[in-house]
Amino acid sequence: MLKRAFSRVRRRLSLHNEPGLPALDLRQFEISERLFKGFPFLEPHRGASGICDLHFQDRELRGAIACTPAEATLLHLAALNLKPQKALEIGSYIGWSSAHIASALDNKLTCVDPFLEIGSSLMEETSQCAKQRFLDNMARCGLDQKIKLVCGKSPDILPELVPNGGWDFAFVDGWHLDDQPVRDLIGLLPYLQGEAVIILHDPWIRDVRDGLVLLLLKGFNLYVCDTANYLTFCWRGQLTDGLRKTIAMSKTDRLTSHISKERKAGFGLGLKTLDQLAAAGMATPS
């Protein structure tokens, strides 16, 4: 039965494969292949960074582009290795990243999303269709009891949600423009535990990169992974064993894009460049 389910997944991938998209077998990413069958509306997308890799997008909702299987696997591994007790995700879309994180947790993942990004537009009010798509996807993955969904805007709603002692893990992947990444981080920082890990997605986009610069100014360390969208781990103080293990895993061939490594400096994501931007104080919303 499981083999038949995986066979159907592979047929979906081949049927929707875009011309020129790398033939990336999901069997390299066991957790992604298992979860993919719970997302019947996902179809392959080449991504937006210019580094061609297998991404996903909801064929009806469109809007945001979900992370690659390599990045989703790294999120899963981070949650497994770090064992957070109070985890947060800002920006959940249809739940692809949420499912990878929640499936590794012993406790619930709090997901914050206003569900406003549909197609190429930002809606004024929550799209009930997008919200229901997220809930249905989580139920199909058997993760509906591992998720606490909060339909609201970050960072305004965060003070109402903060757990006792603060969050120890946060994946920040909300709206990427209009200084919103920096606002999300400024609103989040007071509610983090001292050894909390923040993970950012898409710092090749300038507004998200500004978020990295802000974290440098706040005393965080960074590790920018060589994935198609430069998934980045951020932490204060000493590197924990769990994070060290995750970063080591990120360097394996299965989870690394050599093209990303070559183009990292061009996106201003080398540590020297980020340090220079931090020294110039270039991380304050206008």
Class of domain 69-279: alpha beta
Among residues 117, 182, 174, 113, the alpha carbon closest in space to that of 148 is found at 113
pLDDT at 17 (0 to 100): 46
Say whether 249 sits in a helix, a strand or coil. Answer: helix
Backbone angles phi, psi at 258, to 5 degrees: -70, -30
pLDDT at 283 (0 to 100): 52
What distance in Å separates the CA atoms of residue 70 and residue 96, rounded to the nearest whole number? 12
Q: Indicate the average pLDDT of the chain.
A: 89
Three-state SS string across 142-180, please?
Answer: CCHHHEEEECCCCCCCHHHHCCCCCEEEEEECCCCCCCH
Local confidence band at 5 (pLDDT 50, 70, 90 cut-offs): very low
pLDDT at 92 (0 to 100): 96
- pTM of the complete model: 0.90
Q: Where in the chain is the domain with CATH 3.40.50.150?
A: 69-279
Q: Is the pLDDT of residue 174 over 50?
A: yes
In a 10 Å sphere around its CB, with 0-12 CB exposed, 13-18 middle and 19+ buried, how is residue 187 labelled?
middle
More confidently predicted of 52 and 256:
256
pLDDT at 286 (0 to 100): 42
Cβ atoms of 108 and 148 within 8 Å: the answer is yes
